[in-house]
Structure 1
C-alpha cells in the first residue's frame, strides 16, 4: 500500500508549525499533529505559538510519545512581556530550542496587516496593542543584549520573526557579534517581511539558515509559486535553506500533509531529492542540536 506521505518525510523535521491550544483557531491539536508526524515517520516537530511558550507543551508530548521529538520555544510578543529576559531564560532552562523575535508585536507585522485583509489573525492585526521594538534612538535595547547572551549560553536558535528588513540586519549582526551560530531568517519570501534575494544570499553568507516557507505560496499570500521558490533555493544554495510550512490554520490542509506536498512540488520543479533531504533533515537537525542517530 502506497504511503500518503512522501518518503522524504521519514526522519524530517518541521521547524515552523502551529497547533492548539492557541488564541487563534488551529487545524489540529498538538496531539493530532503529533499523530500525523508519527504516521509519516518524521524525526520531529517544532511548535510555535505567537502568544505563549510552547516548551511545556513539547515536554508533555515527549513524555507520552518517544518516537517523535517535539521541541518548543518562545516568541517575544507583548503576550509574554515582549523583550523579557526572564521569560526567555525560563523557556531555555526548561529545554526550549528557539527564541523567535516579535511577530504580532512587530511594527512590520502590524503595518502589513493594516493594509492587507486576510484570513489570518482573524482579520485583526492589533491583538498586540503596541509594538515591540529592538531599538531606541538607533541603539539596541539592553534587554536585547541580555537575550542574545542567553541564546548563546544555551546554544539556542535565534529566529527573526516578523521584523523588518532593517531590523533583521541589525539583529543578525548583533547576534553574530555575540557569538550566536544558529540563526533562522524566517519566511524570507513572504509579504509580511519579505527579504530581497540579494539579502537572503547575504544572510546565508553569514551562516544563517533561510526559511523556505510553503505558506508564502498559499492562497493567503500568493507571494510566489513553488517553481519560483525552487529558483530561490538554487540561487541561495540548499545548504543554507530549511523547508517549513508555517501551516496550522483551519482553512488549510494539516501541516504534515502540506509538508509532503511542498516536497513533491519542489521535486517537480527540479529540486533534487538529496537537496530536499538536506533541507528537511540535516539542516534542521543541526539547528536543533539533534544527533543523526537519535
Structure 2
C-alpha cells in the first residue's frame, strides 16, 4: 500500500505503521505542493528518500498547487511550476527526477497539464527515471488524447487512471464536479 497526502509527507507514517504491524507492506510518498515552498523543493525530496529506511517510494510534482490546475479552476497563473515560460523543465524538477532515478522510486507528474506531463515524461526518461507515472490521464482537466497517452507510453511512462471520477456528480460526495469531466 502506498499512502499519498497532498500536503504532508507519508513515509514517516509508513514507518510508524510498520512498527506496529510487522510484515505489513506500506510505503509513503511526497507531493511537491506549497507546504514545501513556492517551487519544487529539492531538499524535501532528498530528505524524503534519505529517511525512514527507504519508505518514500514516490515523489509527485505539485497536485493541488499545480500551476495548470490553478489556471483551469481559478483563472490565475499561480502555484508551484514544473516548466518555465518556454516549456522547459525547471532545474529543480530535473534534480528531483535524478533523486528518483538514484533511489529507483516513482516520479509522478502530479496535476501537470497533458503537454507538461509529456514533457516531464520525456525528461524523466533522459535523466534515467525507471518509474514514471503520468497522473490523471483520464479525468477532468487532465483528460489526455489517445495520441498524448501513446506518446507517454512510448517514453516508458505508466498511465494512472483515476477511479474517483466515477464517483463525481449529483448524489455523490463530490457533487460539485460534473461526472463527465
Common fold: TM-score over 0.5: yes
Q: 1:109 to 1:137 in 2, by over 3 A?
A: closer
How many matched pairs? 168
Alignment of 1:47-58 (within 5 A): 47-58=3-14
- Kept in 2, the 8 Å contact 1:187–1:216? The answer is no
Which structure features the higher share of helix residues?
A: 1
RMSD: 2.0
Alignment of 1:38-49 (within 5 A): 45-49=1-5
Larger Rg belongs to:
1
Structure 1, unpaired ranges of 5+ = 1-44, 116-125, 225-294
Query: How far apart are residue 144 of structure 1 and its match?
Result: 1.5
Query: How far apart are residue 67 of structure 1 and its match?
Result: 4.1
Residues in 1 aligned to 2:90 and 2:147: alpha-carbon distance in whole angstroms: 28
Residues in 1 aligned to 2:34 and 2:152: alpha-carbon distance in whole angstroms: 27
1:38-57 superposed Cα distances (whole Å, 9 cap, x missing partner): xxxxxxx1111111111101
Question: Aligned pair 1:72/2:15, yes or no?
Answer: no
Residues in 2 aligned to 1:70 and 1:56: alpha-carbon distance in whole angstroms: 11
If asked which structure has higher relative contact order (CA below 8 Å, sep 6+), I would say 1
The runs of 4+ residues in structure 1 deviating greater than 2 Å are 111-115
Instruction: Choose which of 156, 161, 170 in structure 2 pairs with 1:207.
Output: 156
Structure 2, unpaired ranges of 5+ = 169-173
- Kept in 2, the 8 Å contact 1:162–1:192? The answer is no
1:192-240 superposed Cα distances (whole Å, 9 cap, x missing partner): 322112211221222211112111212244237xxxxxxxxxxxxxxxx
Instruction: Choose which of 144, 153, 166 in structure 2 pairs with 1:195.
Output: 144
Query: How far apart are residue 178 of structure 1 and its match?
Result: 0.4
TM-score, structure 2 normalization: 0.84
TM-score, structure 1 normalization: 0.53
Residues in 1 aligned to 2:149 and 2:24: alpha-carbon distance in whole angstroms: 31
